[in-house]
């Protein structure tokens, strides 16, 4: 398989395991590894080194093709990282990916039992991810982060092998729940989430939600918990840009304390589209590149900022 631009994906995890074998960190004499890549970015401009990354150069692919891609990488920044990864085996992050690899690395395991928090809600049509992210204000400008996601049993069964392996990891850590049925019943989701909050004794003081498909859930939440601290977070570049920038700053400073692979996965998938005014909107490159926990984190952050007095 060629190198990619998405860190923490199923393929990236397999590559890291093979690299551990190559480094001698553990022995596996039954696995044969052929790893082709340039040793350094400086070699991209030297055609005499390209055979290291592509042993079929001059046979199944021409030097001219590689030369055209090198020139394109120099003049089209958006294509640069993909070319460096696919042609030269140099692991890069996509040009528009929002978080760096270092920002997606998990912290040590945290327990926020009984603590006050804001919750962000990102609901689906029923056959896709539904995500809830809890944001816990801590000292020195830091915030604890926990996420809990839901998919239907049918969605889980239809996953391809590599993706299913990744989802099994989420199941084991408790960040993903699979509910019976073809589509998610939001009232079943509500009741499971309610039991989870009670079990952890989280003190939820405000809720931010994307209005898409959220009416039934939010109406029940308001009836059972009161109308205070419920904030609608409209999606779009004009409204998302500021909270996304603030979340990015906290991620850079490692002030978002998360310990779940689900957060690493969704942060690694997050890209942003920038309009002519410099406003950014959260997106994903492909349907399977889930970003729901990050979207819910943004909703939780907006609700927290609008209700800081509830945390005094």
**Does residue 157 sit in the same domain as residue 24?**
no
Integer angstrom CA distances of residue 204 from 155, 178, 198, 294: 29, 24, 10, 18
Q: Is residue 5 part of a domain?
A: no
**Does residue 232 sit in the same domain as residue 303?**
yes
Using the predicted structure, report yes or no on whether residue 151 has a pLDDT greater than 70: yes
Using the predicted structure, report yes or no on whether residue 94 has a pLDDT greater than 50: no
Please give the Cα distance from 69 to 80 (Å, whole number): 9
- Give the range of the structural domain holding residue 183, as residue numbers without chain letter: 102-311
Partners of residue 97 on adjacent β-strands: 271
pLDDT score, position 276:
60
Please give the Cα distance from 4 to 12 (Å, whole number): 8
pLDDT tens digits for 211-234? Answer: 888 999 999 999 999 999 999 998
Domain tally, the chain: 2
| CA–centroid distance for 239 within its chain | 20
- Stated pTM of the model: 0.72
pLDDT score, position 95:
43
**Does residue 209 sit in the same domain as residue 243?**
yes
**Does residue 49 sit in the same domain as residue 183?**
no
Q: Is residue 4 part of a domain?
A: no
Measuring CA to CA, which residue among 23, 15, 66, 60 is closest to residue 44? 66
Q: Is 21 exposed, middle or buried (0-12, 13-18, 19+ CB in 10 A)?
A: middle
**Does residue 171 sit in the same domain as residue 233?**
yes
Please give the Cα distance from 291 to 122 (Å, whole number): 10
Residues contacting residue 299 through CB under 8 Å, at least 6 positions apart: 120, 121, 122, 133, 208, 209, 210, 231, 233
Using the predicted structure, report yes or no on whether residue 310 has a pLDDT greater than 80: yes
User: Of 63, 88, 113, which residue is a domain's last?
Assistant: 88
**Does residue 106 sit in the same domain as residue 62?**
no
The overall average pLDDT reported for the chain is: 88
pLDDT tens digits for 224-266? Answer: 999 999 999 988 878 898 999 999 999 999 999 999 999 999 9
Tokens 């209005």 label which residue? Answer: 211
Q: Is residue 96 part of a domain?
A: no
Using the predicted structure, report yes or no on whether residue 286 has a pLDDT greater than 50: yes
Using the predicted structure, report yes or no on whether residue 113 has a pLDDT greater than 60: yes
Please give the Cα distance from 240 to 238 (Å, whole number): 6
**Does residue 179 sit in the same domain as residue 299?**
yes
- Length of the chain counted residue by residue: 312
Q: Is residue 93 part of a domain?
A: no
Q: Is residue 95 part of a domain?
A: no
Q: In CATH, what number is assigned to the domain containing residue 277?
A: 3.30.420.240
Return the exposure string of 135-144: e unless at least 16 CB atoms fall within 10 Å of the residue's CB, then b: bbbeeeebbb
User: Of 65, 88, 111, which residue is a domain's last?
Assistant: 88
**Please, which pLDDT band fits residue 126 given cuts at 50, 70 and 90?**
low
Least trusted range by pLDDT, from 11-25, 46-60, 296-310 = 11-25
pLDDT tens digits for 159-206? Answer: 888 788 899 999 999 999 999 989 999 999 999 999 999 999 999 999
Q: Is 224 exposed, middle or buried (0-12, 13-18, 19+ CB in 10 A)?
A: exposed
Question: Given phi > 0 = left and psi -120 to 50 = alpha, else beta, which region is 246?
Answer: alpha
Q: Cα torsion at 154, 157, 159, 164 (round to 10°)?
A: 130
**Does residue 254 sit in the same domain as residue 305?**
yes
Contact in structure between 149 and 295 (CB atoms under 8 Å): no
Contact in structure between 163 and 129 (CB atoms under 8 Å): no
| Token pair for 144 | 């604890």
Q: Is residue 136 part of a domain?
A: yes
Q: Is residue 190 part of a domain?
A: yes
């Amino acid at each position: 398989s060629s190198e990619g631009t998405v860190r923490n994906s199923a393929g990236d995890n397999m590559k890291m395991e093979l690299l551990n074998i190559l480094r001698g960190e553990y022995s596996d004499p039954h696995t044969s590894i052929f790893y082709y890549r340039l040793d350094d970015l400086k070699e991209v401009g030297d055609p005499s080194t390209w055979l290291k990354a592509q042993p079929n150069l001059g046979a199944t692919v021409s030097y001219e093709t590689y030369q055209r891609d090198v020139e394109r990488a120099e003049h089209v920044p958006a294509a640069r990282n993909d070319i460096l990864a696919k042609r030269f085996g140099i692991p890069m992050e996509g040009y528009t990916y929002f978080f760096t690899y270092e920002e997606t690395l998990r912290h040590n395991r945290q327990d926020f039992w009984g603590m006050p928090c804001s919750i962000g809600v990102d609901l689906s049509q029923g056959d896709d991810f539904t995500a809830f992210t809890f944001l816990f204000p801590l000292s020195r400008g830091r915030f604890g982060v926990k996420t809990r996601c839901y998919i239907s049993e049918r969605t889980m069964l239809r996953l391809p092998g590599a993706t299913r392996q990744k989802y099994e990891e989420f199941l084991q850590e408790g960040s993903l729940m699979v509910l019976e049925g073809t589509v998610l019943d939001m009232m079943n989701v509500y009741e499971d989430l309610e039991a989870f909050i009670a079990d952890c004794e989280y003190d939820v003081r405000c809720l931010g939600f994307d209005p898409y498909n959220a009416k039934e859930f939010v109406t029940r939440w308001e009836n059972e918990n009161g109308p205070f601290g419920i904030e609608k977070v409209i999606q779009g570049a004009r409204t998302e840009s500021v909270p996304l920038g603030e979340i990015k700053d906290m991620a850079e400073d490692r002030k978002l304390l998360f310990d779940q692979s689900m957060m690493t996965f969704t942060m690694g998938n997050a890209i942003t589209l920038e309009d002519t005014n410099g406003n950014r909107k959260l997106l994903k490159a492909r349907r399977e590149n889930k970003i729901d926990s990050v979207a819910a984190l943004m909703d939780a952050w907006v609700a927290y900022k609008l209700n800081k007095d509830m945390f005094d």
